[in-house]
Structure 1
Amino acid sequence: MTDAQNTADTQVEAKAANNPTAMKSKRKKLLTIFAVIVITIGLIYAIVTLVFDNSVNTDNAYVGADNAQITSMLNGQVLQVMVGDTQQVKKGDILAIIDQRDAQIALQQAEAQLAKAKRQYTQSSANSSSLSSQVLVSNDDINSARAQVVQSQVTLTKAQNEYQRRGQLAATGAISKEELASYQSALDTAQANLNVAKASLAQAESKQKAAQSNLAANEALIRGTSQDSTPDVLVAQAAVDQAKLDLSRTVIRAPLDGVITNRNLQVGQRVAPGSVLMVVVPVQQLYVDANFKESQLKRVRVGQTAVLTSDLYGKDVEYHGKVIGFSGGTGAAFALIPAQNATGNWIKVVQRLPVRIQLDPKELQEHPLRVGLSMDATIDLNSK
């Protein structure tokens, strides 16, 4: 019975094989099925490309901000602390006050030095007038000394002539030796007076040169300057400005709007320049650092829009942002202990690159965030 059935099936297949129409119909059916499969795969790829490949997403994203560290600019004791942690502040609000007495004393000393420098300039200007008068007076002294020299020279000449005549008379015995000695004494006196007159002339000329040198030196100090532009006054004025600045720095103010955090300041504490007193977080100027895989960044560009959600508010609250930049390297590249990949047992690990997304301030005002919160970020790759 079985052999009969096999024989019948064989005959049917032989007939079908010998029938060209049946073969053509079967081939057409197979091609149709293959075409449907290809079209289905194409449609699936198109749907995935158009719908699911227009964005990249990561949940490895965190809120960040450019915090303002409040530091002391001078030494001093804290008198008042006006704010506490979690407190909202506005730009210009007083945060703390440092004892001002030392700064006030320093300002008074600087102002005294400024007044002294101005007085010294006035004195130098007066000295110029005095030295000019001395130069003029020295001219009169020189003229007087020169006249004295001329007079002494005439007296000496007269004494020399008298002595010579008396000497001739003394040779004939017409006058006594005592009278000749008196004329010799007069001659010596006239010579001495001439020497004294010459010395006085030299002294007057030296005084004039000294006065001229002092005048030139004094003029060099004040030439081309006024009381407000002389170097000593400028240095003293700079010290006053610095003292005023130090006095103003005893009142510490908020540099921007934000929330106080990490306050390390107590009344009575002595602070030093550079010590961090507190931090102001600008909660209205937050951004998100989204860490995307390197394989996701091929089409990501600066300026593309992003939609973000926070674990704090859930999926119902969406934030809208814009890509503003890429980090200069991956987190592993800037790690304290970089990965050592040049080893025999190296395993490739997909790296992540931080992408910075700027958030909308209006949305932040409606739903405030805090630094460090987790975010879910999706970048629209078709946006410009």
Structure 2
Amino acid sequence: MKNKFSEESIDFIKDHINDDPAEIMLQSRKFPELPMRDIVVQIASRQKAKNKLPEWFGNYELILPPKQNLEQASSEITAKFKARFVEGDSLVDLTGGTGVDTCYLSRKMGSTVYVEPSEELCAVSKHNFEVLGANIEVQNSTAEEILNHNLVQSDWIFIDPSRRDNAENRVYALEDCVPNVIVLEERLLNSAKNVLIKASPMLDIKKTLQQFSSCYKVQIVAVDNEVRELLLYLRKDNDEEADIEAWNISDKREEELFSFKYSYEESCGFDIEEPQKYLYEPNAALMKAGAYKLIASKFGIQKLHPNTHLYTSDELIESFPGKKLVIKEVLSPAKKEIKKRVKNGTANVIVRNFPMGANEIKKKIGLKDGGEEFMIFCETEAVGLRAIWCERV
């Protein structure tokens, strides 16, 4: 992979940025003067980065790593989010990779070190940091080598273990990722005042907290209601119960935050009620966090069923972190009842604690997602299985 392109190559990339990379490669013999293989990699990577990394996408002086390296890389919005909570004199990113997180985290640091075992990625990142004017030292090494030789003492360590094994299969358990942060925990805590681990959103949070008594905060980060990252904040000699923060961030609307501790959730009660005027569905981060009882208590709303994580009230709760819907009618889930109401066959189907999946229901009844109406299939304590016909507030 080249770490610098000529003006002619950059112009070619710009001119063909929306073209099929495979088709371009087939035509590569027409351009013997250009490094077509590297150019095609750039076009494919930039297509991947267009929405994920808009600032980088628009800067053609930057060299983007191959598409597969960008898969685990943070998006621009999540990298900027992390930078809001990390501040100090020094930071070491022990799994530098594409350098996206390193770059945004460095903006609040006096000094930043990027560590990466791949010589190729080191060369590319060094070039990119220079283009971006980021004062970041690049070290071609592994996290284990740096920690084993006590080569780091910093305010912060950031680490994002690779979620692919040696056979390139996807993994998400921390003990299966590389490097293994469970094994490295003591060395990490001896090398920095704070450690920030980016982990898979697939992780079981409560199990993870049992593995890390040093964890003082967990952030579940959703972007536009899709959980993207789980962030673990560690510090030495922590003796406090971890704060759990469920964030739903966006560049299109206001962000949502619900914070709590699991002990509060465990000791909390809730009320059951049949569907009233309004229906609420927690956002994806809150569902992942599991504050099912506490959210009912905090907002003064009722659950439809102990195992159905939908809530209802007679008064609108504007500040609820999730979907806020007006109930039009509570129906039997029978096909004829639903077809009578949904005239054009278009309604967003949501399933909660129901014996059929959303796709199965859509196929059986003949519904397609879209519009402002919702058909929510769920179990209620009061009247059993129901389809709740709603629309956005």
What TM-score, normalized by structure 2, do the two folds share? 0.17
Tell which has more relative contact order, 1 or 2 (C-alpha 8 A, sep 6+). 1
Which structure's CA Rg is the greater one?
Answer: 1
